Structure 1
């Protein structure tokens, strides 16, 4: 009886769950932290559309494109979690401005 074949199969059986666990713990994407020394312009006033079931309105905001601020208009966020949508915003920390991504809060 050949003992090597069952050991090879056993090794594959053990490696597959380990590989899947490693993939599951790896972030899908990493967003770089945006730090700017120039304050963003005042927000534009946008009228939010009527409520839409299953969605939350994400207000427009100024985003940094590498050379300056450009306006990103508001859009709908599909509800993925219970809770409410907290829009992204710029936050001052000393002389720098940091972009804080929008997120769902419970």
Structure 2
């Protein structure tokens, strides 16, 4: 019994960092592809705020909630030394695909 406790503590001490490393190494580009047959509503007018040093404005857009489109308001995000390309819906035949926003160097 005295030996079991240190081994259990050692196992937990090794498993936690390994689990965190596995989560951190998952690709950040892996995103769910959203394909909808219903076109998104027209863009809502959203007043773009003035420039904010060190940040890029990600404009609002329609997102699919599973039952219909829901407006997601714009927000500031920290700059990453690149140009921000906002996400948008793309028509391909009868379907609409969500193209996720991304940074371009």
TM category, shorter? 0.7 to 0.9
CA 1:105–1:48: 2 relative to 1, 3 Å: same
Is 1:39 matched with 2:39?
A: yes
Q: How many residues align?
A: 86
TM-score, L = length of structure 2: 0.73
| Over 4 Å off, 4+ runs | 22-25
Aligned partner of 1:65 in structure 2 is 65
Query: Which structure would you say has the larger Rg?
Result: 1
Q: Deviations over 1:52-100 (max 9, x none)?
A: 11100011000000000000001011112x2211100000000000000
1:105 counterpart = 2:104: yes
d(CA) in 2 for partners of 1:105 and 1:29? Answer: 13
Of 45-54 and 66-75, deviating more is 45-54
The residue correspondences of 1:13-28 to structure 2 (distance < 5 A) are 23=22, 26-28=26-28
Quote the residue 1:92 is aligned against.
Answer: 91
Query: What is the TM-score normalised by the length of structure 1?
Result: 0.72
- Structure 1 residues not aligned, in runs of 5+: 1-18
For the aligned residue pairs, the C-alpha RMSD in angstroms reads 2.1
Q: Which residue in 1 is equivalent to 2:78? A: 78
- Distance apart, 1:29 and its partner CA: 6.9
Gaps spanning 5+ residues in structure 2: where? 1-17
Distance change (3 Å), C-alpha of 1:57 and 1:28: closer
